[in-house]
Amino acid sequence: MNNLEWTSAQQATCTFFHVLAISTTSFRLSYRLYMRRLWLEDACAALALAGDTICLVLVWVFWPYEEPGPSGPSPLLYIAASLPSDVLWLARMSILFSIIRVTNPKSTQRRIAYATAVSFTVFWLVIFAQRMALCAHSYCVSNKLTGILQIVAALLSDVALIALPIWSFGTSKLSQERKITIIAVYIATIVITAAVIFDSIEAILPQGKLALLSMNLKVAYLSSFA
């Protein structure tokens, strides 16, 4: 990875969105705990919250990356390379579990949602393994395969997050207002898909700071909906 320098404005922008995501997720989890309605979606959201908090710390103490020394990449570099992607997948899983929770237990929608959760897990593990291999053999430098894999995984997963609620809400017992609110949240994943594509293009044609800034904003934005 290249040795880069961030401007104060870029650090401030990343900090603002990370803090906003941490605040909104903390409030939602606190409310769910108070109401004693915790479920799998909240466990994923809590893990995403912890990861996003670490990302906020990395904005100030580690990012931008420095060239690895003679001994190779440090453990912190491995964490910094994989954590943003991990937070994104945890946030997606949290949203997906919220869909599963409101569907009929014996419905086709729930079975397909469970199958989607399995596919998300496979995508996540494949991307994680690829990033670890890149860190071990090329100091975490992304390549075209990484970018293409991110684009494909993001498109498939985000389309699922948009399509599943639109399909299942027609038969759910949620109020009309609640349906509109939740659908709006899932449609917001379209913005995340655009950010992932931009980030992946940066991985294919590295430009450094733009990819790093996009990555942080993307992580903060999606984790705020976890």
Domains with residue ranges and CATH for the chain: 8-223 (1.20.1070)
Query: Residue 223's closest CA among 34, 63, 29, 76?
Result: 29
3-state secondary structure at position 72: strand
- What average pLDDT does the segment 96-116 reach? 84
pLDDT, tens digit (0-9, with 9 covering 90-100), for 22-31: 888 888 889 8
- Report yes or no: 56 and 22 within 8 Å, Cβ to Cβ: yes
| Residue given tokens 């060239």 in the structure block | 67
Contact 195, 218 (CB under 8 A): yes
Q: What pLDDT band is residue 212 in, cutting at 50, 70 and 90?
A: low
Tell me: the pLDDT tens digits for 174-201?
Answer: 566 556 656 655 665 666 666 566 555 5
CA–CA distance, 187 with 87 (Å, rounded to integer): 19
DSSP for residue 171: G
Give per-residue pLDDT as tens, 117-153: 999 999 999 888 888 887 777 666 666 777 778 778 8
Contact by Cβ (8 Å): 98, 40: no
> Could you tell me how many residues make up the chain?
226
Q: Tell me, what's the pLDDT at 1?
A: 44
Backbone angles phi, psi at 152, to 5 degrees: -65, -50
pTM for this one? 0.77
Q: What is the largest CA-CA distance in the chain?
A: 60
Q: What is the 3-state secondary structure (H, E, C) of 127-162?
A: HHHHHHHHHHHHCCCCCHHHHHHHHHHHHHHHHHHH
User: Of the candidates 137, 127, 136, which has an alpha carbon nearest to the alpha carbon of residue 203?
Assistant: 127
